[in-house]
Chain A
């Protein structure tokens, strides 16, 4: 008896893959908007378009792709009718992002309104389904609890975002508008992204890099203290307790603890093979720690907000996502071909050449460094150079991940064990 892998244990190949493939394309479009921007002020329409094409087009698209793939691995939870859910989400979000882009090119509000509506529907649709599957998991590990909390904070942040858009559109700006804005970005970043990264790291760091598992106590400390701080934040904000600094110091300690633990685990991993994805993960963690301290310093000094966005958005989140894509996509390709009985396919390590990934890593890193120097010194030419590097990095990312996808496309109809043509 050989009980092989079963394809119904994972989403169909194309369900998550299309999200990964389109993510760098939106990042390239975001880069083009930034390249033709005459100013890098955060209120410049081209920069607003860039930020949202990166956050929703790259980051959210990648997260949706990763969640479809990771739910069975992390929680044994499988999204039912995965193809349909994936196609609906993908179509709605892509149309929303195209409408968003056209809206900024033509300066037509109707396209932006259409975009906001589609993005809202698409994101809530997928998040609700993912949450429902996570709630159904019988033995909820800290990973599952972390993911549930992360998605709940996302929904709250998203609803606050809608409130802010309506308030802006109708000119009905209340005294609490700024506080809602702060709550929105704190819940997106710390509630949604940080908790999601923590939950996924707890699973994938030992799984993909043969590192020691996070102890239960370590998992509990990070997830529960983060949640307590996130619940405390709006209380402090709306009752005006003036305890912002407690919240910030608390989160800094938790973030630094998570960074320390994860770097230790990656440094002490059992199989120290050359792996560029470790460089991406390490880079991401270093920028997370740096960004967290920068955020705390903003309470005491006047510092560039743009730089904060670059450190956390590009340095932390996008570095991590690049590295994860180089693990998840070969894993998906291997899993689906293996489940078809094809055992002569390249191993996960052979699917994307290491030198190609290294080249992309270098462009990505130089892009971040140039952004930091450019924004730090206020030199637009260096910022433009950083944008060009960012565009090249995403073109290379697309080419690299497509190499793994090509292996699937070439082999998907082949018969196992040489039984075919």
Chain B
């Protein structure tokens, strides 16, 4: 069973969303992923995740932007596969 860490940054002013999610990255492991909820697509975070070999998927279906982040040890990848 995967554990979801919700990081809701919708009401935080830049640069707080970046600092909050960066501090949460240390909790990623084989069973844990982050679900970040934001107002916009945080481009600088994506560059950062790419450079640190972390994986992410972005969903912009509703009003908020959802960013799912996981590391290479994460086991339950199937849950991200059907995501738009």
0/1 interface trace, chain B 50-73, chain A, CB 8 Å (1 if under): 011010000000010100000000
Q: A9-B47, A72-B44, A76-B43 are in contact. Are A210 and B22 (CB under 8 A)?
A: no
Interface band, chain B: 20 to 34
B44 to chain A, nearest CB (A): 5
Cα–Cα, bound, A261→B26 (Å): 39
Residues of B within 8 Å of A76, CB to CB, are 43-44, 46-47
Interface centre among B14, B19, B23 (most CB of A within 10 A): B14
Cβ–Cβ contact B54 & A203, under 8 A: no
Residues of B within 8 Å of A72, CB to CB, are 43-44, 47
Cα–Cα, bound, A211→B12 (Å): 10
Cα–Cα, bound, A6→B49 (Å): 11
Interface flag for A410 (CB, 8 Å): no
Cβ–Cβ contact A213 & B15, under 8 A: no
Cβ–Cβ contact B25 & A210, under 8 A: no
Determine the residue in chain B with the shortest Cβ distance to A137: B43
A77 to chain B, nearest CB (A): 8
Q: B22: which of A5, A10, A206, A209 is its contact (CB, 8 Å)?
A: A5
Q: A9: which of B10, B44, B63 is its contact (CB, 8 Å)?
A: B44
Determine the residue in chain B with the shortest Cβ distance to A212: B39
Residues of B within 8 Å of A9, CB to CB, are 44, 47-48, 51
Residues of A within 8 Å of B47, CB to CB, are 9, 72, 76, 78
Determine the residue in chain B with the shortest Cβ distance to A78: B47
Interface flag for A177 (CB, 8 Å): no
Of A120-128, A183-191, A330-338, A385-393, the segment with at least 4 beta carbons within 8 Å of chain B is: A330-338
Interface flag for A75 (CB, 8 Å): yes
A34 to chain B, nearest CB (A): 36
Chain B, 14-29, CB within 8 A of any chain A CB: 14-15, 18-19, 22-23, 25-26, 28
Interface flag for A270 (CB, 8 Å): yes
A344 to chain B, nearest CB (A): 14
Interface flag for A256 (CB, 8 Å): no
Interface flag for A169 (CB, 8 Å): no
0/1 interface trace, chain A 179-216, chain B, CB 8 Å (1 if under): 00000000000000000000000010011111111000
Cα–Cα, bound, A211→B54 (Å): 29
Interface flag for A73 (CB, 8 Å): yes
B59 to chain A, nearest CB (A): 14
Cα–Cα, bound, A10→B19 (Å): 15
Residues of B within 8 Å of A206, CB to CB, are 39-40
Q: A210: which of B13, B23, B43, B63 is its contact (CB, 8 Å)?
A: B13
Cα–Cα, bound, A141→B13 (Å): 22
Cβ–Cβ contact B41 & A331, under 8 A: no
Cβ–Cβ contact A208 & B13, under 8 A: yes
A329 to chain B, nearest CB (A): 13
Chain A, 316-354, CB within 8 A of any chain B CB: 331, 334-335, 338, 348
Cα–Cα, bound, A212→B22 (Å): 23
A144 to chain B, nearest CB (A): 10
Cβ–Cβ contact A73 & B44, under 8 A: yes
Interface centre among A76, A208, A334 (most CB of B within 10 A): A76
Cβ–Cβ contact B15 & A210, under 8 A: no
Residues of B within 8 Å of A335, CB to CB, are 15
Interface centre among B39, B52, B63 (most CB of A within 10 A): B39
Interface flag for A420 (CB, 8 Å): no
Residues of A within 8 Å of B10, CB to CB, are 270
Interface flag for B11 (CB, 8 Å): yes
Residues of B within 8 Å of A1, CB to CB, are 25-26, 28
Interface flag for A301 (CB, 8 Å): no
Chain A, 203-239, CB within 8 A of any chain B CB: 203, 206-213
Cα–Cα, bound, A208→B44 (Å): 14
Q: A9-B47, A208-B13, A331-B15 are in contact. Are A2 and B40 (CB under 8 A)?
A: no
Q: B14: which of A2, A74, A141, A207 is its contact (CB, 8 Å)?
A: A207
Cα–Cα, bound, A6→B63 (Å): 30
Cβ–Cβ contact B13 & A3, under 8 A: no
Interface centre among B40, B47, B63 (most CB of A within 10 A): B40
Residues of A within 8 Å of B25, CB to CB, are 1-3
Chain A, 49-103, CB within 8 A of any chain B CB: 72-76, 78
Determine the residue in chain A with the shortest Cβ distance to B46: A76
What are some 17 contacts across the A-B interface (CB < 8 A)? Answer: A2-B25, A3-B22, A4-B22, A6-B48, A6-B51, A10-B44, A73-B43, A74-B43, A76-B46, A209-B13, A210-B11, A210-B12, A213-B40, A270-B10, A271-B13, A331-B14, A335-B15
Closest 10 CB pairs of A and B: A76-B43, A206-B39, A207-B14, A1-B26, A3-B25, A76-B47, A206-B40, A3-B52, A270-B11, A213-B39
